[in-house]
Structure 1
Amino acid sequence: MEIDNELTDKEIVIRAPEYDAEIQELYQSIQKSFGWQHPLIFYKGTSEYYLNLDEVLFFETDGRQVHAHTNDDEYVIHHRLYELEELLPGRFARVSKSAMINIRQVYALTHSLSSTVVRFQGSQKQVYVSRRYYKVLKEKLKRGR
């Protein structure tokens, strides 16, 4: 560890003779610990957008595309959901085979006989939670709040 009051931001350097699975795991662990990630690019029409992840309510697949939903807009993102699970910080949770939500944006969980629905503050948008992911979602909501 080296403290340098001239620095304006934190810097971490990993030195190794080769890039192997152990180094990759260490690198990903550090990224997740500090909330660092590669910036995601959101697309709408012919424009590229660089949104703050806090604005995103949820990601869902529609055919072969993944869409990112905000309170009042929808964007396409060029990643698969399984890739997003690796890239996104812990505040995002998988809730079905085709959707991931931002648990900080959850306003309510509504239960019925056949399903659970996630509702978001200030939006009419909602997402269905599959039974397979419900327990994990509840745990993340308890820890994340």
Structure 2
Amino acid sequence: MKVKIKIIPEKIEESVLFLAHRVTPFIQNLIQLIENNPSSYLFISKAGEQRERKLDYSSILYLEYLERKIFVYANDDVYEIPGPLYKLEHAMPKYFVRISKSAIVNVYMIREFETSLNGNITAQLTNNEKLIVSRRYVKELKEHLQRLE
């Protein structure tokens, strides 16, 4: 069996492709190992619920800290995690960046930017929601986006 690795820019989502004559137990084990990688998801509960579910980082639009809770806005719903934002910030993949004291955004979910006269930037997400990037975090966001190119 040959193994090939192609290094891609960070802005492209990583993927694995198996070219095989049939699905063997070895390939099934590899698939399970890849899909259950703990660095690609969070265990999280919906706002107001007690049970937790697995949520892929790639489906998260942004995180917001309100009332001593982190609210996670995903494609399908809103989830909550107790605790401060900074603890989760360092555990997130590289494509998440802080845009204000109370928000972290998935840069792949940003559709466009709009600059205001006071120096703030508004980020419009793929779901048409708008988030304000405070002046303090504009430089960090620009540097982060350049590193991902």
Fold match (TM-score > 0.5): yes
Amino acid at match of 1:53: Y
**Partners of 1:61 and 1:67 within 8 A in 2:** yes
Aligned Cα root-mean-square deviation (Å): 2.3
SS, match of residue 55 in structure 2:
coil
Query: Pairwise mapping of residues 28-39 of structure 1 onto structure 2 (< 5 A)?
Result: 37=39, 39=41
Amino acid at match of 1:99: A
SS, match of residue 39 in structure 2:
coil
Residues 110-130 of structure 1 deviation map (CA, whole Å, 9 limit, x = unaligned): 111132111111x13221111
Amino acid at match of 1:89: P
Q: Distance in 2 between matches of 1:138 and 1:128?
A: 14
- Aligned residue for 2:15? none
Q: Distance in 2 between matches of 1:116 and 1:86?
A: 23
TM normalised by structure 2 equals: 0.67
**Partners of 2:40 and 2:57 within 8 A in 1:** no
Q: Distance in 1 between matches of 2:145 and 2:135?
A: 16
5+ residue gaps, structure 2, are 1-25, 31-36
TM normalised by structure 1 equals: 0.68
Instruction: Say whether 1:69 aligns with 2:103.
Output: no
Amino acid at match of 1:90: K
**Partners of 1:41 and 1:77 within 8 A in 2:** no
Residues 5-61 of structure 1 deviation map (CA, whole Å, 9 limit, x = unaligned): x8x66xxxxxxxxxxxxxxxxxxxxxxxxx963852221132322111000010001
- Aligned residue for 2:45? 43
In terms of fraction of residues, the more strand-rich structure is 2
Q: Distance in 2 between matches of 1:124 and 1:72?
A: 14
**Partners of 1:42 and 1:50 within 8 A in 2:** yes
Q: Distance in 1 between matches of 2:148 and 2:40?
A: 22
Give the paired residue count: 114
- Aligned residue for 1:111? 115
Residues 41-92 of structure 1 deviation map (CA, whole Å, 9 limit, x = unaligned): 2211323221110000100011211101123421112342111121111111
Amino acid at match of 1:116: I
Q: Percent identical across equivalent pairs?
A: 34
Q: Distance in 2 between matches of 1:53 and 1:77?
A: 14
Instruction: Say whether 1:127 aligns with 2:131.
Output: yes
